[in-house]
Amino acid sequence: MATLGLLGRPRQAFAMGGTLPSLETVAPAFDLEGVVAGSTIQRNLTDFAGRWLVLYFYPKDFTGGCTLEARGFQRDLTAFHALDAEVVGISADDPEAHASFCDSEGLAFPLLSDPGGTVSQRYGSWIAPFSQRHTFLIDPAGILRERWFAVRPTLHSQEVLATLQTLQESSQDEG
């Protein structure tokens, strides 16, 4: 249940990169250019309707922590797909940098480009000129179900996968 602030409005959580969206609310919309499997793409939130979405923000392609995090999501991609979930990464890097990064690391999930940080700001994940290392788990109805900030790249994918499994099991128990 949301905590109420002044004037009876729900209080929002703040991160260094702006206001974080509240859990159990509609995820902020996005529509960004990016790459997947060597092809330029355009993706928006509605493209993932009916599926779970792991939306992770990261600072920069080809850096140590970002490479470890991307490798973790790639390693676990089959497990995410088995749970009807997609993985999407977002950073300020341009599509060409993303294409090189995907090719170099064998990434088979989309990386989207947010050069001005507009989408990153909507998710409280922007300190110019970089997206911050935050991850959001969005359910098939577009509702934000979990969020992580200042993640540890080496273990993060497994942490998200475990939370996804728990959320899916609890929703089956309720249904």
Q: β-strand 144-149 against 18-20: which pairing, if any?
A: unpaired
Please give the CATH superfamily to which domain 20-164 belongs.
Glutaredoxin (3.40.30.10)
Position 16 scores a pLDDT of 53
Q: Where are the domains of the chain?
A: 20-164
Q: Express each pLDDT in 97-137 by its tens digit.
A: 999 999 999 999 999 999 999 999 999 999 999 999 999 99
Supply the mean pLDDT for the chain. 90
Position 17 scores a pLDDT of 65
Which pTM value belongs to this model? Answer: 0.89
Range scoring the smallest mean pLDDT among 16-20, 32-36, 41-45, 152-156: 16-20
Helix, strand or coil, per DSSP, at residue 75? helix
Backbone angles phi, psi at 104, to 5 degrees: -65, -40
Catalytic one of 32, 54, 66, 112: 66
Residues 6+ away with beta carbon under 8 Å from 130: 59, 60, 91, 92
66 is an active site residue: yes
Question: Per-residue DSSP letters for 92-161?
Answer: SS-HHHHHHHHHHHT--S-EEE-TT-HHHHHTTBEETTEE-SEEEEE-TTSBEEEEEES--TTTHHHHHH
Q: Express each pLDDT in 46-57 by its tens digit.
A: 999 999 999 999
Distance CA 31, CA 105 (A): 25
